[in-house]
Structure 1
């Protein structure tokens, strides 16, 4: 019997203790008791590997674009990445925008 990990300490507000651990059997019983959910008529099924449909708005998550960059963009990107690797390899840190030891 596997038990879901839950803390028995108090919640973030500190007002009341968190629930006791829940076993797999209890979770299964809760899931079976829930029954089938009513789906709206305009619900869109999702399966991994399906052809993507316009579920999200284009402005929220635009479609991925493939294509080749010109050689200038590749040189700039390579120089930038190379400089970061060299700076970090030399033991310097550029995490906060300035080059510092550490």
Structure 2
């Protein structure tokens, strides 16, 4: 499992009206336990696109990166970890307004 140490959130602008609803981009710096396969000495962050539409809201996409090099990490989070991220983002949406 992991914990979020720092984060930023920004509302994604859509000047052409292509995207349904609103999109928010989160960058979450993670602290990962050493025995977790996701662990990296350089640190890890996750970039999350969170969508809010009339009939649903939630994570649209997430990508994991090594913090020091911005190298993409080809890992999928476990369902419980995705739910943790989703709740974290949902609780902080208003900070992007």
Point out the structure with the larger helix share.
1
**Which structure has more RCO (C-alpha within 8 Å, separation ≥ 6)?**
2
Q: TM-score by structure 1 length? A: 0.19
Q: TM-score by structure 2 length? A: 0.20
